[in-house]
Amino acid sequence: MILGAILAGGQSRRFGSDKAFADLGGQPMIVRVADALGPFVDGLVVCGHRAPPPGMKSVADVPRTELGPLGGLAGALHYAQRHHYAGVLSVGCDTPILDPDLLSRLGKSERATFVTDAPIIGYWPADLFDALIAHLATDPRRSMRGWIAAIGAVPIALPRPIPNVNTPADLERLLLAPS
């Protein structure tokens, strides 16, 4: 079984408001992400967000807040272990355009695997939880790329970057982009 984890614990400083709930074509971005991820996972959680959309389960960052994406991933891995999921398929709440073929490929991984241009998007075996907690305790940078290097995760290079929304201008470009 695979747990889907939407990492949504950021401060949205560059966006100016909670970007997880920014409107994208009549839906909050986080709902679009959940709809894209849902068919490829057996359960779905939102990590690090105090008020997830109705019907979505919230999981706290582990071991504490303000650890960036790795705190959210640790929360998801901890939840996955406790609920007998084999691994976690993670995406960011600010990546509302996700390729189904990519999600399928990641969901079939057996090893830690990530997207090179968007390392928050990846598959992480649940048994990596203890290693991630140890990494967080010893790496002051708490870098996603540092964690990936530490565990030897498998990279997936894509032909073009996955759209990522960090500012209102990014959202506007996404709204204006041809489908």
Known binding-site positions for Mg(2+): 94
Helices (H) and strands (E) in the chain, counts: 6, 9
Give the annotated binding-site residues for GTP.
Answer: 7-9, 19, 61, 94
Return the residue matching tokens 């565990």. Answer: 151
Backbone angles phi, psi at 75, to 5 degrees: -60, -45
Peptide bond into 161 cis (omega under 30): no
The continuous run of DSSP H or E covering 169 comes out as helix 168-176
Give the annotated binding-site residues.
Answer: 7-9, 19, 61, 94
Altogether, the residues listed in the chain come to a count of: 179
